[in-house]
Amino acid sequence: MSKQKLQLGIIGAGRIGRVHAETLAFRLPEAQTVAITDVSQDAVQAVASRCGISRIAESALEIIADPQIEAVLICSPTPTHADLIVEAALAGKHIFCEKPIAHSLGQIDRALAAVEAAGVQLQIGFNRRFDANFARVRKAVAGGEIGVPSLMHIISRDPAPPPLSYIRTSGGIFADMTIHDFDMARFLIGDEVEEIYTAGGVMVDPEIGRAGDLDTALVVLRFRNGVIGTIDNSRRAAYGYDQRVEILGSKGKIATENCYPNQAIVSTGDAVYTDLPLNFFMERYTESFAAELRSFVNAVLEHLPTEVNGIDGRIPVQMALAARKSYDEHRPVRLEEITA
């Protein structure tokens, strides 16, 4: 293995692939992108040109087969993830894969079995764990700073819904949006959820409902340790990207507010106001995207466990399936009911 720079290949040059390619090119000198591929030639050429990537591969399999490449970043659409993980593991490549691994537990288990058999590293792209605000919340809970936690509330609202073409293939709101919040809930409380109850509806765009999805949801989580959590999701927040957390404990509480482009406050005779929050995840989570890739690169180079492993990728999908089942059946669903 390279002692100086980890040699990487990127599969996918869409929105998140571009973010990761730029991070590797401009912020991680300990890694080098050898090749990149995408089904869109325009997208892959644009990313390669901007990030100084010398080779555009014709396919994902070409990247996986390249003996120079030590690790791959899987940033392609979700339906391709599990198969690509299996192929990469068989080729002995370390793997960073965007969430979710797949939409079914069976596919996930097949991918994780291949990783274990190959003995390669796997990290799942739950970048919010690496956000400084949420890391501070976790520190307060883990260190007993706010006492024993009892209530948790996560607010996660997008500025606008994604295209219908995305919704039709994403697996729905619980798989493409709430899944980040399911991961954050486990991470922040440091325990597992045993039961989920969901209330939801279509309050933003009727076309989303006709596509079989929801655009507004409230999910109640009951943890094994007794903590009760709520996740509040909407695909539309007119004022921007809304990302907040509050945890109440026996000694106090800890809360995080939204991030803004500046800290200025304007005060006049009519109102006191600030600028709107950062508008979407690329701006809000820039630092966490860099931190998660740095963590993966270091884990591979130093032979350390990854900070977000395959089980961390599996459980939020199980939670997403339970949340949808709860909505469909109008009842609380225990996670142990979700087996496939």
d(CA 13, CA 101): 18
> What would the mean pLDDT of 114-133 be, rounded to a whole number?
97
d(CA 125, CA 85): 13
d(CA 315, CA 309): 11
Question: Is the per-residue pLDDT at 52 higher than 90?
Answer: yes
Question: Is the per-residue pLDDT at 2 higher than 60?
Answer: no
The CATH code for residues 6-120 is 3.40.50.720
> What would the mean pLDDT of 235-244 be, rounded to a whole number?
95
For residue 1, the model assigns a pLDDT of 43
d(CA 23, CA 28): 7
pTM of the model: 0.94
In a 13 Å sphere around the CA of 73, the CA atoms on its Cβ side amount to 33
Question: Is the per-residue pLDDT at 326 higher than 60?
Answer: yes
Give pLDDT tens digits for 163-211. 999 999 899 999 999 999 999 999 999 999 999 999 999 999 999 999 9
Domain with CATH 3.30.360.10 in the chain: 132-279+316-337
pLDDT tier for residue 101 given thresholds of 50, 70 and 90: very high
Domain with CATH 3.40.50.720 in the chain: 6-120
Burial 89-123 (b: 16+ CB within 10 A, else e): bebebbbbbbbbbbbebebbbbbbebbeebebbbb
User: Contact 16/75 with Cβ under 8 angstroms?
Assistant: yes
For residue 283, the model assigns a pLDDT of 81
Looking at domain 132-279+316-337, which CATH architecture does it have?
2-Layer Sandwich (3.30)
d(CA 300, CA 127): 17
